[in-house]
Amino acid sequence: MEKLSVKDLRRIKDRSSIACSIRNNEEKDTKVIVHMGTCGIASGAQEVMRVLRERVEQEGLDVVLDEAGCIGICEREPIVSLVRKGEPVVRYAAVSPEAVLEIVESHLMGGKVVQELLLSNGSINGVRKAGLRSSETLVVPATLPEEPLADLEEVDFFVPQQRITRKNCGAINPYRIDEYIAMDGWSALARALTEMTPEQVIEEIQRSGLRGRGGAGFPTGVKWQYCRQAPGSVKYLICNADEGDPGAFMDRAQLEGDPQSILEGMAIAAYAIGAGQGIVYVRMEYPLAVELISHAIDQARAYGLLGSDIFGRGFDFDMEVMIGAGAFVCGEETALIHSVQGQRGVPRPKPPFPAMSGLYGKPTVINNVETLATVPTIIRNGADWYAAVGSEKSKGTKIFSLAGRIVNNGLVEVEMGTPMKKIIYDIGGGVPEGGTFKAVQCGGPSGGCVPARHLDTPIDYESLTALGAIMGSGGLVVMDDKSCMVDTARFFLEFVQEESCGQCTPGREGTGLMLDILTRITEGKGVEGDIKELEKLGNIIKKTALCGLGQTAPNPVLSTIRHFRDEYEAHIREKRCPALVCRKLVQYSIDPDTCNGCTACARACPASCISGEKKEVHVIDPTSCIHCGTCYDVCTFDAVLRT
Amino acid sequence: MDSSSTETTQAGGAEFPPEKIRELDDRIKKVRNKTGATIRAMSAAQEIFGYLPREAMMRIAGGLGVPPVDIYGIASFYSYFITMPPARHQIVSCQGTACYVRGGDRVLEKLERSLEIKTGETTPGGEFSIQAVRCMGACALAPVVRIDSDIYSRVSQRRVKGLLSRYSKKDPGDR
């Protein structure tokens, strides 16, 4: 394939803009898109596509079948979008193979929208139970490629969002570079190479106020400048796609939905720092992301957008994919470097920072996926445009993943400084019926919780740190009154303990000591002074651990003590778990008035400690009960009581 | 470097047919000069054999000129590498934060009880193994269980038995 010039880029853009926009397409007037991110596929999108293709072929319908990444509302996958010339874009949610038959017959063949399958406000369960009111349906005009997903603004989940980095996700087919080019893709690199010096690119990123989206929020432009100024002719750029923080999946969605944006950001960064070689380090738990980013690299290379003398400007840059073999600590940059070198992924003390001495001892910049995917939009639209969005010290937008006890699970991109309340309630729809919001865990095992009384706080790097949490990668896990904060702290410490590389004593032994105390508390063996001991250990570990993982490991404990001390005290003093989560503190019994002797609990009990004849009241023997809760789960008459 | 003379006592046996060994040697040669050659070679070996047999690790060490202890150190550090033959059906239960909040721990317990093995173990006939992982990034569908390459979302304790029966009936040639 011939190398692309800037002129060619424009030609492809014009050509594929027309191909993408079905409105202008002369040949076919209907396009059906199945959204096939990992969440879509896990919900059955492939089967939906198979049935759809089969039906369309059987009926000989003249429609284009296509796929795209996740639009962000993972909760309601599989989602199918139907674009028809001169008609509004229609999005169907939670589509089953049977529903496909209905969509084909009613909409594709009969021209009639299937109302009860439309993506609408409220949870899927709510929709199924309550049925749909017509005022909630989503029918809006088809969009031009320049404004992808503008139609989504009708749904509550999308209204408060500002999609800059995720603009293309769910709108383009991630397997086709031409569609990315149609969305102005690779024009930012063209601009950087033809109109800007590397110093000007760094200056532009610095002025935009972009900060690292992977954790600590270090200014991206400053990092680039350190590396540019570091002596040496060989430099490296690494994209950290080792998204190990449990509860965060924005990087996966970007890799799967818009891989070219990451490659373009990397090429711009490489030009700025003077790197000729790039590495994308992706975790092996993300097979689809690995496939898509590898495919994207091949396509970019075929167009000459990677390789030598890019755009004829004498800039050489190429990259390869490295697959992380499964170790949380590899998200730490020095550990990641060791892993890329084929060694055990253990961190080392800093300084020297990787910008001075990184991969094979050469100056190296390591940026996170979201950071790099944002870079092209800044170069395209200018630093002022980007800096106009956000709060005083945190510019632009941030992508959060919303999971846990919340109605709308998915990915949201909002302006920095947006109050947490807006994310949880306006976008997330609050906690599911029957629960009360308790806290949201922000920043994973290195972060902390934000309780209900602080929900009005505008979210940025500084405000979260002040609350004892961190921005981290932006994973938000919502907890309600059914979540025990002490057990949550134990959960995170267990995680860190397992993932500790074992090099430094605070990280290896200190976290172990804290875990022992927490385990004791959740088993009803807590003693006075435990809270103080946890705080003491936590503060020592924060100051003395070798790497960022160790230094932040006590955060979930310290923040739950800070905001939920009463729960710790209930466990220690009253041997009581208010959320009824800590198993050894929960007693099970059967209400003789409600039990109808269906025998379901007795049959399910793994300890065989429930006795009773058919159609007679059953009894649990507390001495042999193992507190597993199975009887509570299987009883359909609410006759099993927990106290 | 050639390690074949000293370290391949079992090579050529049923588990190590010559074509597989040749394939491994080819792959080692291909990655020798690449970034992160050790991990690449080990991934290749695991692809070929399904796990990392001792012989394969020794061969990689020889082929790349790396002490065998380093290869073993890497194998034990990363959760991806396994040094025992895998079960016919591999069950992976996600224990990330979102799955934990929505009861993933109870699903794992039910799996353990149903198969009468602990996490990290394989059933005596080699049919099932259970592993726990920290987040597959499908948090919106929590709790998530993966069996082989199929992902199951919103798994409850009640669904566990049904899921297992789909797989235990497969493979009529089981021992």
What DSSP string describes A197-238? Answer: -HHHHHHHHHHHT-B-SSSS--BHHHHHHHHHHSS-S--EEE
Alpha carbons A465 and A102: distance in angstroms, whole number: 50
Q: Is A629 on the interface with B (CB under 8 A)?
A: yes
Nearest to B140 among A327, A405, A410 (CB): A410
Do residues A506 and A282 lie in contact, with contact meaning Cβ atoms separated by under 8 Å? no
CATH number of the domain that residue B98 is part of: 3.40.30.10
Same domain membership, residue B59 and residue B107: no
Length of chain A: 643
Same domain membership, residue B70 and residue B40: yes
| Residue-level pLDDT at A125 | 32
| Residue-level pLDDT at A18 | 55
Identify the band that residue A27 occupies on the pLDDT scale cut at 50, 70 and 90: low
Q: Nearest-CA neighbor of B59 among B106, B98, B101, B8?
A: B8
Same domain membership, residue B124 and residue B70: no
Residue B175 lies in a domain: no
What are the chain A neighbours of B134 within 8 Å (beta carbons)? 244, 246, 328, 495, 498-499
Alpha carbons A274 and A629: distance in angstroms, whole number: 59
How far away is chain B from the Cα of A563, in angstroms, using its nearest Cα?
Answer: 19
Q: Is A322 on the interface with B (CB under 8 A)?
A: yes
Q: Beta strands of A36-118 (E only): which ranges?
A: 64-68, 80-84, 90-92
Do residues A319 and A190 lie in contact, with contact meaning Cβ atoms separated by under 8 Å? no
Domain boundary among B77, B103, B125: B77
The separation between the first and the last C-alpha atoms of chain A, rounded to the nearest angstrom, is 70
Instruction: Check pLDDT > 80 for residue A529.
Output: yes
pLDDT in tens, A247-295: 999 999 999 999 999 999 999 999 999 999 999 999 988 999 999 999 9
| Residue-level pLDDT at A629 | 85
Same domain membership, residue B63 and residue B15: yes
> Domain total for chain B?
2
| Residue-level pLDDT at A115 | 85
Same domain membership, residue B163 and residue B96: yes
Do residues A338 and A346 lie in contact, with contact meaning Cβ atoms separated by under 8 Å? yes
Residue B84 lies in a domain: no
Q: Other C-beta atoms within 10 Å of A60: how many?
A: 6
ipTM for this prediction: 0.86
Quick one: chain A helix, strand, coil %, rounded to 5?
A: 45, 15, 40
Domain A185-386 class?
alpha beta
Cβ-based contacts under 8 A for chains A and B: 150
Answer yes or no: do B35 and A279 touch at CB < 8 A. yes
Domain boundary among B56, B77, B98: B77
Instruction: Check pLDDT > 80 for residue A449.
Output: yes
| Residue-level pLDDT at A346 | 95
Same domain membership, residue B99 and residue B69: no
Domain A21-151 part of CATH 3.40.30.10: yes
| Residue-level pLDDT at A19 | 54
Q: Other C-beta atoms within 10 Å of B27: how many?
A: 19
Domain positions in chain A are 21-151, 185-386, 397-480, 485-573, 587-642
Same domain membership, residue B94 and residue B73: no
What are the chain A neighbours of B157 within 8 Å (beta carbons)? 630, 633
Alpha carbons A297 and A289: distance in angstroms, whole number: 12
Residue B24 lies in a domain: yes
Q: Beta strands of A2-55 (E only): which ranges?
A: 30-35
Residue range B81-94: mean pLDDT, rounded: 93
Place of tokens 């509302």: A73
Residue B82 lies in a domain: no
Q: Nearest-CA neighbor of A79 among A40, A130, A29?
A: A40
Answer yes or no: do B138 and A39 touch at CB < 8 A. yes
Do residues A342 and B39 lie in contact, with contact meaning Cβ atoms separated by under 8 Å? yes
Same domain membership, residue B94 and residue B69: no
- How large a percentage of chain A has pLDDT more than 90? 79
Amino acid at site A582: C
Do residues B133 and A285 lie in contact, with contact meaning Cβ atoms separated by under 8 Å? yes
Residue range A390-403: mean pLDDT, rounded: 96
What are the chain B neighbours of A245 within 8 Å (beta carbons)? 135
Alpha carbons A12 and A7: distance in angstroms, whole number: 9
The range of the structural domain enclosing residue B55 comes to 4-77
Same domain membership, residue B164 and residue B95: yes
Q: Is A598 on the interface with B (CB under 8 A)?
A: no
Q: Where are the alpha helices (DSSP H) in A553-629?
A: 555-563, 565-573, 600-604
Answer yes or no: do B139 and A249 touch at CB < 8 A. yes
Answer yes or no: do A75 and B140 touch at CB < 8 A. yes
Strands B89-94 and B128-133, bridge-based pairing: parallel
| Residue-level pLDDT at B171 | 52
Q: Nearest-CA neighbor of A186 among A7, A421, A365?
A: A7
Residue B173 lies in a domain: no
Answer yes or no: do B137 and A491 touch at CB < 8 A. no
pLDDT in tens, A87-141: 777 889 999 999 999 999 999 999 888 888 888 764 433 332 222 222 233 232 2
Answer yes or no: do A247 and B96 touch at CB < 8 A. yes
Residue B174 lies in a domain: no
Same domain membership, residue B14 and residue B51: yes
Domain boundary among B77, B98, B127: B77
Residue B94 lies in a domain: yes
CATH code matching the domain that covers A485-573, chosen among 3.40.50.300, 2.40.50.320, 1.20.1440.230, 3.40.50.970: 1.20.1440.230
Residue A64 pairs in a beta bridge with A31
Residue A498: both structure tokens together: 């397992």
Architecture of domain A397-480: Roll (3.10)
User: Which whole-number Å values give the CA distances from A177 to A22, A180, A304, in the listed order?
Assistant: 18, 5, 12
Residue range B11-33: mean pLDDT, rounded: 85
What is the CATH code of the structural domain delimited by A587-642? 3.30.70.20
Q: Beta strands of B22-120 (E only): which ranges?
A: 89-94
pTM to 2 decimal places = 0.91
pLDDT in tens, A292-312: 999 999 999 999 999 999 999
